[in-house]
A and B are shown apart, each in its own frame.
Chain A
């Protein structure tokens, strides 16, 4: 049946959206941030691919291979710090549900401190490796090692700055559409970095240690 065969009653037809209230700002933001996380995932995927391609024994040229310099137990402490930071952030988000400003602020502060521990340990680890001559200039394999781990660390650094900004905004503005939307996005960001870290820990540190 053709659509034009149907006679449309002009008195019944709905041409304008009378009770359309516009799009939901927070859900639109969250969706957009999901999209960003997807592109960030591609960024890490590309770095992982580069790491994979540059992890043959000849990729390390005459320099050391990860088995000779990674410290999985040390990095395990980093892992725990990051996970606890995500957990603390999760507590902040449950506090957000009950509308408790103090809970959110405390959760984020704890999250920042634990994230700071992660980052501090990372910097310490990098300095240690450089001091024993494990530098990104040594070989293609080490270049890829540093690229992957330090791009992740840069994400953590950005996340920490973001958390500080959120602390300021929550204390000044309280829970508005803007701040709540950002808190939700930040949760996605933070959890995603933790997930990426799981991959890095397994493929770079554990695997590297064993091979």
Chain B
């Protein structure tokens, strides 16, 4: 059954051999040493400060959706940085390697620039995979994890243990792709893979195998997560949280996760079939023996296009939370916003062919997919207009979060319009596979990154109890935007000048000036990374000064997550709120109920921590690693162990634990005492239920005659 691999193989180590470790590579070897040293420092530091127990108890074994979300975001930010370094290397290669003749630096066998084609190919493949699936996806999943349960008034996700499992499986995928740097090679077939180059005959190394199993692991983790989100929103909404009162972000999470749930299996099958070709010698995608090359491309993009909407929809949701809060108005066109999300999700299923119009399926098929693709523009346009009308005559505050959101709108506009151009087959035939396409989808994906930064700044105080430094957030925004402009506008130009994508040697000297501009842009990006780190440092240093003393950190926020204490206690809400309106917090502010505390408490039930999710995650990594290197005993042993652990956990069950009502009352009192200070009762200046100013901060009361009047100490505006 199993195919014979070219090169040595042993039962004990599979294809592993010392020669697979690139210790002579002048980039990877120092990097490895740096990582090992940093790891040693980290481990020594944690040991020195005696924090292992804390990390284990509070983080590694946790099932708390907020902590899991934070870990997802940390993971996503680390991978965003890794992907950025890949980008920097690609830009530098093209800037150095541009022009005729051999202009290489004669290192690592490079004839052009400083990277050989084989290295360059690995970098762009890893970059794409990392940015879409291991940076953007964890960032979005992390934010959904934290915010969705809070927005619907739930204490946790529907399946807290499954949630932890999703995180650790995603982490296993991250480890797998990171280890490919130092053990063996990564794929050089692009992030989406070309048939039949990924077949064993043409890619005999382990690169493609790393690619397959990394993707399979994220796909598994994300599917588990999407089941969890859907069950949470459908089943765990607090009383009164009707579908018509669901915040827009939660709605977009629902639509996005419907996409994920239904589309990721396509990816899993497509890649499993590639795996079958490579491991079992089947002929799904081979060029001969009755295989079908385009079958792969179809199956991949059948997932691939819904996936791009899986990542953009939550970003749209974030914009829909930040913009109203800083415009002090409710979102314009709530219902159309929701409908548009689902329209986008639906149409995303019938457009996948626009990724390969040049396959040549004839005018009728192309026309259908062209029109379907353009249809996406309608609901997207509705959304853009809704945001614009939300801003219109709003009382705008240009905080850092707001700047990121507005920046995202501009990128969305450019990305959407160029997408429209690409949707026209006649144009597509001219620019397909050029860097014009690359510039198009970077506009879209950067729109997501902008929305994520906006959301991180916006929700940070809710989770940590202090705000991020505004000034540095803005400096970072401007630097990042300058970088975006300098890198991607030349890219559109280069696309028009005919530069095809993925060139390790851009031969045309006329492209040179644009590459230089892009290289400058990359350095501006570096500055913005530094500004981000500095922002974190300054904010943590000044955390006492930036403490938030109210439940509603911005004073003008609207949805339910702002009702509970800041920082959010582990039980989320001491008493589950009853929801009375869309934008519950704005409604309570309007009517002066923000200060009203529950007058009695109830016992609550919470799940126990468990290390099993972490163990299973680690085992899935071993399964992936064993499969990549064809170490069969390792693969089988890890798989069986993982199944045994699952059965063990299922037999044991989790009774959870009960916190009695008196304890809840005490914890709530302490949490409030920590949060509040003297100035926390200031009347907010705006953000009323329907956009006006707030008239009363304390509830209206009945006077002697029985009519409702405001109490004396409340301020009328």
Contacts and interface: CB of A to CB of B under 8 A. Distances in A.
Interface stretch (A67-75, A84-92, A102-110, A140-148): A140-148
Interface residues of B, number: 74
A137 B578 contact: no
Given A10-B593, A28-B236, A136-B282, A43 B265 contact: yes
Contacts of B590: 3-4
A2 interface: yes
B281 interface: yes
A165 B650 contact: yes
Nearest to B654: A178
A51 to B, nearest CB: 10
Interface stretch (B134-142, B209-217, B624-632, B685-693): B685-693
Interface string A37-64: 0111011001101100110001111010
Given A4-B590, A4-B695, A140-B283, A27 B290 contact: no
Contact of A147 (B276, B298, B692): B276
Interface stretch (B401-409, B484-492, B580-588, B672-680): B580-588
Nearest to B285: A140
A23 interface: yes
B289 interface: yes
Contact of B231 (A20, A32, A46, A54): A32
Main SS class of interface, A: helix
B231 A165 contact: no
A29 to B, nearest CB: 8
Interface string A2-37: 111001111101111110101110011001100110
A125 to B, nearest CB: 17
A169 interface: yes
Given A16-B578, A17-B239, A39-B227, A54 B588 contact: no
Contacts of A137: 280-283
Most B CB within 10 A of own CB, among A31, A35, A139: A35
Nearest to B584: A15
Interface stretch (B256-264, B462-470, B521-529, B530-538): B256-264
Given A4-B695, A140-B289, A35 B231 contact: yes
B251 interface: no
16 contacts: A17-B240, A17-B577, A20-B239, A23-B235, A32-B230, A43-B265, A46-B265, A46-B270, A46-B299, A137-B281, A138-B283, A139-B289, A144-B284, A147-B282, A165-B647, A178-B653
Interface of A: 2-4, 7-11, 13-18, 20, 22-24, 27-28, 31-32, 35-36, 38-40, 42-43, 46-47, 49-50, 53-54, 58-61, 63, 136-141, 143-144, 146-147, 161, 165, 168-169, 172-173, 176, 178, 182
In the A-B complex, list the 8 residue pairs whose CB atoms are closest, starting with the nearest: A143-B282, A140-B290, A10-B699, A42-B265, A61-B290, A32-B231, A43-B265, A46-B269
